[in-house]
Chains A and B, each alone.
Chain A
Amino acid sequence: MSVQAPPRRGKARTQPTARRNFLGLDREGLMLAVPALIPVVIFSVYPLLRGIYLGFTDAQAGRNTETSFTGFENYQRLMGDSYFWESFRVGLIWAFSVTILQFFASLGLALLLNQKIRMRWLARTLALVPWAMPPVVIGIMWRLIYHPNAGLANSVLKDVGLISENIDWLSSFSLALPAVILVGVWAGMPQTTVVLLAGLQSVSRELHEAASMDGASTWQRFRNVTWPAIAPVVTAMTTLDFIWNFNSFGLVYVLTEGGPGGATRLPLLFAYEEAFRYGNYGYAAALGNAMVLVIAVFVVFYLIRRMREAK
């Protein structure tokens, strides 16, 4: 969730250089920062480093004192673990599908909401509904919709004539993942739409009108005027969306707990099971490390794009 702080009034000024320690803070500054720094270091920085280390050990529930360093053993095991590859594949399909579908769906909605339409405020408010709901409630709500007997999905599809028998969406090996992806898109659309809408507001109206006068079609104007203006926003947003989706947990946990038969077991769900159901802390941490590596690849890819765009 992102909230914009008000724009800066006047130019921000920083402290004039006084006696500073090696951190660049004077005594008073340090006193002000320390109350926040201590919990952050203890409960965020330290666990992060310990988590990385844990991935190279055989730590298990109930025998943490005898944990020993095992180097790359966990990673070798990961490479040969078909459950890991399955969750990795599911995670990539999920993250790519949700990100791409969410982007195109949101772009369409943002383009519509950016036009002069009647009751625009109402449309904008309704479009933001998923954003205002807790993830667990979203999961529960969609379980009601996908319910095999009382669910709305079956009833609507039967009315339209697309299906004749009730389907148990979330228990079907082939349908569970697409069903869950749809919920992911639903949940993520408002934020993506708002970001795109903000991007569209920055598109030059004059340039649009000039192109229109020169006889450019709607598509040509989109391709040559709108798209170049929003492209940087799109790159940043889709990269972040991908990372968030790859890291998601709560929504899918509530919907399917990773089932049926691992069909929706995202990497985080796999790690959660390994750690807290089977007690394999070291192995789960190794999986976390592997995920960070994957994400790092995307961040690097994004930074390269950024640098090329800046040129």
Chain B
Amino acid sequence: MDRSRPVATTLKYAALFAYLVFLAFPLFWLISTALKTPQEIALIEPTMIPNEPTFDNFRAAFSEQPIARSIVNTAFVSSVSAFLTVLLSIPAGYVMARYRSVVSRAAIVWVLLSQIFPWVLVIIPLFLLLRDFGLYDSHLGLITVYVVWSMPFALWMLRSYVAGIPYELEEAAAMDGATKARTLREVIAPLLAPGVVAAGLFAFVSAWNEFLFALVLIRDPDLQTLSLTLVKFIGAEGVARLGPLAAASLVATIPSLIFFAFMQRRLTGGLLGGAVKS
């Protein structure tokens, strides 16, 4: 049919091209800006590709702002959050998959509610609560919030992974006299590895990218996460600083990109596959 309708085909590719420029070009522009010299950024007629690509902006970003410190902070908060989220979600996800109980049903409702919830309703009392516990303006407080915040989704993922593991395996272990905790540790957990990695990465990237809680809960500049440092960066808005700002933003994007490259098959393939099968 394509060959018989050249006009339609051309229009189709033109439309697709326009879409892709719209969606992918801003990232290209960010990269381009990050590699330009201050003089080139200040040109009235911006150039698409930097004339003399330079990494000076990256150097400037790290020296002008405490980017390195923020990266360490963010990496620490994100890894601990991811670890704790997964650690708590494995047994709870198991219970959700294997028991028909009030708790499992309530958890499902909670998971769904958490998707549509306006966080402002929680953030004020959460701020007050953490302050009362002495956790305001501390990494521990932020981690606590991130763990609770990532858990609905981690639970949801791990629950379906557990449901995919044949129950017969557990029965065999039970026959041999293993307790449930031991069965979970030695039989189920190893089979859950892909789900654990996916849930852990999700929790890590959510924490890495998060902004609102960090904005409300962290005040000390030494404790700031990357999102906060970047936003502070905007305040000092000379044209000369656009380069370092773009460079620092690119650095902040790296974990997201890695996560995405890793998960892409599951994000698109899984979703599409599931739809085709049903």
A138 to B216, CA, bound (A): 20
Known: A51-B121, A202-B278. A6 touches B270 (CB 8 A): yes
Tell me whether B115 and A13 are in contact (CB under 8 A). Answer: no
Q: Is A141 an interface residue (CB 8 A)?
A: yes
Tell me whether A37 and B119 are in contact (CB under 8 A). Answer: no
Known: A43-B126, A144-B246, A190-B23. A32 touches B263 (CB 8 A): no
Q: Which of B23, B27, B212 is packed against the most chain A CB atoms within 10 Å?
A: B23
Chain A contact residues, majority secondary structure: helix
Tell me whether B122 and A271 are in contact (CB under 8 A). Answer: no
Q: Which of B98, B122, B198, B266 is packed against the most chain A CB atoms within 10 Å?
A: B122
Tell me whether B167 and A141 are in contact (CB under 8 A). Answer: no
Known: A117-B13, A136-B209. A150 touches B124 (CB 8 A): no
Q: Which residues of A contact B99 (CB under 8 A)?
A: 14-15, 24-25, 29
Tell me whether A150 and B46 are in contact (CB under 8 A). Answer: yes
- Which segment of A76-84, A108-116, A173-181 sits at the interface? A108-116
Known: A28-B180, A254-B234. A133 touches B253 (CB 8 A): yes
Partner of A136, one of B13, B41, B227: B227
A154 to B89, CA, bound (A): 49
- Which segment of A122-130, A219-227, A303-311 sits at the interface? A122-130
Q: Is A93 an interface residue (CB 8 A)?
A: no
Tell me whether B239 and A47 are in contact (CB under 8 A). Answer: no
Tell me whether B253 and A37 are in contact (CB under 8 A). Answer: no
A150 to B29, CA, bound (A): 12
Q: How large is the interface on A (under 10, 10 to 19, 20 to 34, 35 or more residues)?
A: 35 or more
Q: Which residues of A contact B231 (CB under 8 A)?
A: 136, 140, 253-254
A33 to B91, CA, bound (A): 6
Tell me whether B148 and A39 are in contact (CB under 8 A). Answer: yes
B99 to chain A, nearest CB (A): 5
Q: How large is the interface on B (under 10, 10 to 19, 20 to 34, 35 or more residues)?
A: 35 or more
Interface residues of A in 27-64 (CB under 8 A from B): 28-29, 31-33, 35-37, 39-40, 42-48, 50-52, 54, 64
Tell me whether A281 and B242 are in contact (CB under 8 A). Answer: no
Q: Which residues of B contact A130 (CB under 8 A)?
A: 23, 26
Tell me whether A268 and B151 are in contact (CB under 8 A). Answer: no
B183 to chain A, nearest CB (A): 10
Q: Which residues of B contact A150 (CB under 8 A)?
A: 41-43, 46, 239, 242
Residue of A nearest to B34 (CB): A144
Partner of B101, one of A4, A8, A20: A20
Tell me whether A54 and B94 are in contact (CB under 8 A). Answer: no
Interface residues of B in 12-65 (CB under 8 A from A): 12-13, 15-16, 19-20, 22-24, 26-27, 29-30, 33, 41-46
Tell me whether B180 and A8 are in contact (CB under 8 A). Answer: no
Q: Which residues of B contact A72 (CB under 8 A)?
A: none
Interface residues of A in 173-209 (CB under 8 A from B): 186, 189-190, 194-195, 197-199, 201-202
Interface residues of A in 101-160 (CB under 8 A from B): 105, 108-109, 112-113, 115-117, 123-137, 140-145, 147, 149-152, 155
Tell me whether A35 and B91 are in contact (CB under 8 A). Answer: yes
Give the top 5 A-B pairs by smallest Cβ distance, nearest first: A24-B101, A4-B270, A36-B92, A288-B121, A132-B260
Listed A/B pairs (11) with beta-carbon separation below 8 Å: A3-B270, A15-B98, A25-B103, A64-B128, A147-B242, A186-B23, A199-B275, A253-B231, A268-B118, A275-B124, A288-B121
- Known pairs A39-B148, A124-B268, A129-B26 / 6 extra A-B pairs, C-beta < 8 Å: A15-B99, A43-B144, A51-B124, A108-B15, A126-B20, A189-B23
